[in-house]
Amino acid sequence: MFKHNYQLRVRYGDTDQMGYVYYGNYGYYYEQARSEAIRSLGFTYKQLEGMGTMMPITRMNVKYISPAYYDELLTIETSILYMPHRLIDFAYRIFNEEGKLINEGNTQLIFIDMATKKVTHAPDLLCQALKPYYE
């Protein structure tokens, strides 16, 4: 299974009146971690879109365990659960500076051909980059 760690420092503007990271920001955190996980494979979302493939989210689930706070350095572990076909599933685990698990979630994205707007298969470039993790 493919795994990638990404670190993110909580900005002041990410917090709410209680001093916690606002719950709606976790989707942005997942997106940042997902983008960096793809980048670690040797290409970017922008390149995938340049090849004619977009990846809208079809599902997102979040489990809030403990709050994150301003200026904390979070580690987001991103995993791709299985080889993508028409869908790709990402799992996220967010740890605070003490290594405590504070959030879990997952997103499911679907591959869409940008020209036809129809469901398509995962791009070969992505599959080839992920293949060694699933053999």
Query: Given this model, what pLDDT does residue 129 score?
Result: 96
Split into its structural domains, the chain has a count of 1
- Residues 80 and 133: their CA atoms lie apart, in Å, by 10
Residues 6+ apart with CB under 8 A from 72: 9, 10, 96, 97
Residue 2 contacts residue 133 (beta carbons within 8 Å): yes
Residue 94 contacts residue 21 (beta carbons within 8 Å): no
- Residues 54 and 119: their CA atoms lie apart, in Å, by 10
**CATH number assigned to the domain comprising residue 7:** 3.10.129.10
Query: Given this model, what pLDDT does residue 135 score?
Result: 87
Whether the full predicted model's pTM is greater than 0.85, yes or no, is yes
Query: Given this model, what pLDDT does residue 95 score?
Result: 98
Q: Give every residue of the chain whose pLDDT is below 50, as ranges.
A: none
- Residues 93 and 105: their CA atoms lie apart, in Å, by 7
pLDDT in tens, 10-45: 999 999 988 899 999 999 999 999 999 999 999 998
Residue 69 CA, chain-centre distance (Å), reads: 20
Share of the chain above pLDDT 90, in %: 96
Domain extent, residue 62, equals 2-134
Length of the chain, in residues:
135
- Residues 135 and 124: their CA atoms lie apart, in Å, by 16
